[in-house]
Amino acid sequence: MLRRFIGISLLLLFLFSGYGFGQTPERLESSWDSFRSSDDNEKDFRFNSFLNLLEQSIEEKKGKSSDNDFLPGWKVVEKPDGVYSVYTTYIDFEIRPDRLIYCIYNSERNQAVAHFKEVVRGQDGVDLRIEMELGNEIPSLVVLNSREELLHIPDLEVVFLLKKMIQSRGLEIVFSLSDSLKTRIELLIQNPSTFDNDFADYQGLSTLISSDDKLKIVTWNVEDISGDHYLYGVVGVKNENIVRAFSLEDKSGEIPTPEYAVLKPEKWFGAVYYEIITEKLQGDVYYTLLGYNGNDAFSRIRVVDVVTLSNSGRPRFGALIFDDHGRTKRRLIYEYSNKANMMLRYEERGDRIVMDHLAPLEPMYEGDRSYYGPDFSYDVLELKKGRWVLEKNVELRNR
């Protein structure tokens, strides 16, 4: 009986202290007051918790807020159709860049997604303006201040799909979500007005645009609960005002000799690309790509690949421009232990690609790539007579 009394008392204390269900908006107001007055370190520590509380509060109120009845200093705008609402404000930092906090709410699903973006505000850029449009059935968002565009999300639905993929925690639904995401990305890439958008405000996508503005490639990674990684992507090719989109299908496990294979979008050696290098070699344009593949629970992969375009504008992966000590390859693939990390980057000043040299951790593991890692020496790919020539054991200065 005493235990039951204590349990009920603690539950009542929990509910009436403002931490139970139905009290989230009140907690949000209190949290916002103390949060924005904290120092930089405290703000960093509490940031994710505040964003979670912001989402919960807006969902609990079902998005029914305006500038006047929400938090002080926040801007709130609702689309005319009532489906989407946007909440945004600045948060000051003393030393680091200020941050733009924004939360997008979908009333049909009663779901909110909150993020932030570092911005340089300046004294004349205090006021925020929110613009939402519905073009070609794709809802978009732009946030501006008096000087510049701070945030541009060309498709709000992509934000919700990325959030759901994270929340899936590798369960089977993540694959259908990723397929839906690919469909949305294809629509965005095919639209000439959004081709030049680098999708920088999408968290979870890697987007690259070639320096000649003809090639755009968007890639992302999906991990299942076993630790296996699956790669997705879309390539856009622009010819004047016409853009074609090509869906990438990861078939890396079905390619017997991938370093020598010519591949098409429907048969692609998957990677999340983080660098694109546009070079004109022997009269043709080559787009060299640096990429990463999480692979599985035992090893990771780095890739140096290349894209060329046919006369019809169709992308093709792989070209005979990699000289690996006398062996000419179409791409370079480096597999290593998932407990290690491999540096692979492009140095624009030297127009070269530098990387860690990989070696087995012990001689007994020779040939087993899951036991390979950097050995503190470096290799370099340098352009010579229209080819990337690999040179090993190169001294790197000013790393």
One pLDDT digit (tens) per residue for the chain, 399 residues? 434 433 444 333 333 333 344 467 788 999 999 999 999 999 999 999 999 999 999 999 988 877 778 998 899 998 877 889 999 999 999 998 999 999 999 999 999 999 999 987 655 445 788 888 755 578 899 998 877 889 999 999 999 999 999 999 888 999 999 999 999 999 999 988 889 999 999 999 999 999 999 999 999 999 999 999 999 999 999 988 899 999 999 999 999 999 999 999 999 999 999 999 999 877 789 999 999 999 999 999 999 999 999 988 999 999 999 999 889 999 999 999 999 999 999 998 888 999 999 999 999 999 999 999 999 999 999 999 889 999 988 877 655
Domain that holds residue 339: 172-391
**Max CA separation in the chain (angstroms):** 87
Which of 119, 153, 187 is the last residue before a domain boundary? 153
Phi and psi at 389, nearest 5°, equal -100, 125
Domain annotation covers residue 342: yes
Residues in the chain, how many? 399
Q: How far is CA 148 from CA 9, 91, 127, 229, 258, in A?
A: 54, 18, 11, 38, 45
Examine the domain organization and report whether 178 and 73 are in the same domain. no
Q: What is the 3-state secondary structure (H, E, C) of 337-373?
A: ECCCCCCEEEECCCCEEEEEEEEECCHHHCCCHHHEE
Q: Measure CA of the first residue to CA of the last residue in the chain; give whole Å.
A: 69
Distance from C-alpha of 34 to C-alpha of 15, rounded to nearest angstrom: 21
Examine the domain organization and report whether 182 and 137 are in the same domain. no
Domain annotation covers residue 11: no
Examine the domain organization and report whether 310 and 386 are in the same domain. yes
Domain annotation covers residue 2: no
Examine the domain organization and report whether 56 and 97 are in the same domain. yes
Examine the domain organization and report whether 107 and 219 are in the same domain. no
Examine the domain organization and report whether 131 and 184 are in the same domain. no
Examine the domain organization and report whether 87 and 145 are in the same domain. yes
Domain annotation covers residue 9: no
Which of 153, 181, 214 is the last residue before a domain boundary? 153
Examine the domain organization and report whether 146 and 209 are in the same domain. no
pTM value?
0.89
- pLDDT of res. 80: 76
Domain annotation covers residue 14: no
Give the total number of structural domains in the chain: 2
Domain annotation covers residue 6: no
Beta strands in 154-298 (DSSP E): 206-209, 215-223, 229-239, 242-249, 272-281, 284-293
Pick left, alpha or beta for residue 46 (phi over 0 → left; psi -120 to 50 → alpha; otherwise beta). Answer: alpha
Domain annotation covers residue 147: yes
Beta bridge mates, 242: 239
- pLDDT of res. 8: 40
Give the number of C-alpha atoms closer than 13 A to the C-alpha of residue 87, restricted to the C-beta side: 27
Examine the domain organization and report whether 181 and 144 are in the same domain. no
- Quick check: 54 and 103 in contact, CB under 8 A? yes
Examine the domain organization and report whether 202 and 82 are in the same domain. no
Distance from C-alpha of 158 to C-alpha of 186, rounded to nearest angstrom: 11
Strands 299-309 and 315-317: antiparallel
- pLDDT of res. 6: 39
Comparing CA positions, the residue from 124, 239, 232 lying closest to residue 185 is: 232
Distance from C-alpha of 279 to C-alpha of 282, rounded to nearest angstrom: 10
239 Cβ neighbours under 8 A, 6+ residues apart: 214, 313
Examine the domain organization and report whether 259 and 293 are in the same domain. yes
Domain annotation covers residue 118: yes
Examine the domain organization and report whether 184 and 295 are in the same domain. yes
Which of 123, 153, 183 is the last residue before a domain boundary? 153
